[in-house]
Amino acid sequence: MRGTLSDAELVEVVLDTLAWSQQKILVALALDAAVDPDRPTSLDFDRSGRAVVGGGAGPWERRV
């Protein structure tokens, strides 16, 4: 990957992977709590890239 990504980009990929993997244990053990058990929970991102669970981010965010 060093031929494709800079050192800073490689660090970013590793940190993103670590950050987004932290919830996997809770999900695997069914310990993650639903925001509203009667409907799917939205996941948005604010302008700084932070996750906003349950909506309310704003029109500039991307919806996942």
Check: pTM over 0.85? Answer yes or no: no
Which pLDDT does position 53 carry in this prediction? 74
Q: How far apart, in Å, do the first and last CA atoms of the chain sit?
A: 27
Question: What pLDDT digit, counting tens, does each position of 2-53 carry?
Answer: 788 999 999 999 998 887 787 787 778 777 777 777 887 777 777 887 777 7
**Maximum alpha-carbon separation in the chain:** 47
Query: Is the Cβ–Cβ distance between 39 and 33 less than 8 Å?
Result: no
